[in-house]
Amino acid sequence: MTRTPNASTTPTAPATSTSAAKTVLISGASIAGPALALWLHRYGFAPTVVERAPELRAGGYKVDIRGTAIEVCRRMGVLDEIRANSTDMNGGSYVDEKGRTVGELPAEIFGGRAEDDDEIMRGDLARILYKRTRDDVEYLFGDSIAALAEDADGVEVTFESGAVRRFDLVVGADGMHSNTRRLVFGDERRFKRHLGAYISIFTAPNHLGLQQWETYHALPHKLISVYSSAGETTAKNSFVFSSPELPYDHRDTARQKEILRERFAGDGWEIPQLLDHADRAEDFYFDSLALIEMDRWSKGRVVLLGDAAHCASPASGQGTGLALLGAYTLAGELAAAGGDHTVAFDAYERVMRPGVEQNQRFAEGFAKEMTVSSRRKIAMRLFMLRVLPRTPLRNLIAKKIREDVQKASHAVPVTEYGTHATRA
Ligand SMILES: Cc1cc2nc3c(=O)[nH]c(=O)nc-3n(C[C@H](O)[C@H](O)[C@H](O)COP(=O)(O)OP(=O)(O)OC[C@H]3O[C@@H](n4cnc5c(N)ncnc54)[C@H](O)[C@@H]3O)c2cc1C
């Protein structure tokens, strides 16, 4: 699909017609927000990014960049830096409660990655995108949108700091618990579907001495893992557990740490020590594996992007890729429509939605596989892992896993928006 941007929206000649958008407020400076800012600036718009945190947030899991998202990174001019910051993981192994290896995941199966795909820490990618945009884009840290009032010509935004400003458009790139979505579309509970598990991840001392390696310990309904990626002196501790939806405030970190302790109390291996690290972690992350499903991603001059619009959960392995593809597509459609949001928002949704839904279905399936319900089933899985490397099936299974992942990661196309869109 090709959209030719209106000449008035090229970087040298910004949009000028009466319907043309010029100023865009983006809520959220993680992945989707800065990526959109990069593209909008390139097309001649004037983006402002507001981020609730006082500074760029570090932390987070290793995130995959696969399939068509790789091409978007190439076009953003950040692919080399992503490669330089790659996690470069070599594989992983399962251990029993005494720390003895009971099964290995060979590199060709680990992550199901194809040759061009890569993996990076979320915080590193956010930093790369921020560095690329901070000189051209206005960033407001430590603030948030308190109220939005749309009229025929734009949106009046009241910030929590008390400041009031007008923008032509507002984009909610503020994650699964999007503030913009709540203000414009209503309560999160209407759109969130819990997939039956929770995940926590945080930085900790690398007391297992891991190097580009992930160690897993499986218990019924639980999976604990520790890894350290290339260039890291620390490790990431990750806990997944199955559970129906739990009542807690998503901003209440202290309560989330308590929940984690309660769930893993009395469990063996290194778990007590890993939990102690949670208490000291500054980048503690805890959330449900959940989907955000909405009939529409825009209302008037406000549009949602990334996890705010269509969180596919960590079980998809595609949240970051979809955020990058969404940013590219939304900016491209706005440029192609000469800034006319009534045309661009529909087109953005048409391009993105089928691929997003495909990835959400993938996540639903994988979420069920992340933990195993009994010790017998865990033993079966470990047995398979042990025999797999010795069978001729090894390559066949690796190929099948890669093919499934590749299908999902190519589900959103890279639309051509004109030659200037590929400028680095
Ligand atoms: C600190 C952090 C750690 C993460 N860790 C993991 C992880 O371990 N595993 C995983 O699979 N996914 C994790 N994610 C989610 C993952 O990064 C996203 O699925 C994916 O990258 C899509 O990015 P996004 O930009 O749409 O949303 P997100 O990455 O969720 O970013 C949303 C941004 O909006 C900001 N924000 C929130 N509310 C407001 C507000 N009211 N006003 C202004 N800004 C606001 C947030 O601080 C954040 O910077 C994490 C996200 C964050 C922010």
Please name the residue whose Cα sits nearest to atom 6 of ligand 1. 60
The band of 108, judged by pLDDT with boundaries at 50, 70 and 90, is low
Per-residue model confidence (pLDDT) at position 404: 80
**Binding site membership of 154 for ligand 1 (Cβ less than 6 Å):** no
Average pLDDT of the residues in 126-141: 98
Q: Please report the pLDDT score of residue 1 as a whole number.
A: 46
- For 227-268, the pLDDT digits (tens) are 999 988 999 999 999 999 999 999 999 999 999 999 999 999
Q: What does DSSP say about strands 46-51 and 62-65: parallel, antiparallel, or unpaired?
A: unpaired
Determine how β-strand 302-304 pairs with β-strand 62-65. Answer: unpaired
Question: What pLDDT is stored for residue 4 in this prediction?
Answer: 40
- Among the residue ranges 61-70, 103-112, 148-157, 360-369, the one predicted with the least confidence is 103-112
Residue of 316 and 192 predicted with greater confidence: 192
pLDDT of residue 121: 93
Rounded mean pLDDT, 305-314: 97
Atom 2 in ligand 1: which residue has the minimum CA distance? 60
CB 225 less than 6 A from any atom of ligand 1: no
pLDDT for the residue 8: 35
CB of 228 closer than 6 A to ligand 1? no
Q: Identify the band that residue 110 occupies on the pLDDT scale cut at 50, 70 and 90.
A: low
Decide whether any atom of ligand 1 lies within 6 Å of the 333 Cβ: no
Name the more confident of 13 and 285.
285
Please identify, by atom number, the ligand 1 atom nearest to the C-alpha of residue 32.
25
The residue among 21 and 321 whose pLDDT is bigger is 321
The segment(s) of the chain belonging to CATH 3.50.50.60 are: 7-87+117-191+290-369+406-422
Q: How confident is the model at residue 13 (pLDDT cuts 50, 70, 90)?
A: very low
Is the CB of residue 306 below 6 angstroms from any atom belonging to ligand 1? yes
Whose CA is closest to atom 50 on ligand 1? 60
pLDDT at 170: 98
Q: How confident is the model at residue 109 (pLDDT cuts 50, 70, 90)?
A: low
Q: How far is the centre of ligand 1, averaged over its atoms, from the C-alpha of 176 (Å)?
A: 7
- State residue 123's pLDDT score: 93
- pLDDT average, residue stretch 407-424: 76
Match domain 7-87+117-191+290-369+406-422 to its CATH number in 3.40.190.10, 3.50.50.60, 3.40.1280.10, 2.40.50.140.
Answer: 3.50.50.60
For ligand 1, what atom is nearest to the CA of residue 326?
Answer: 26
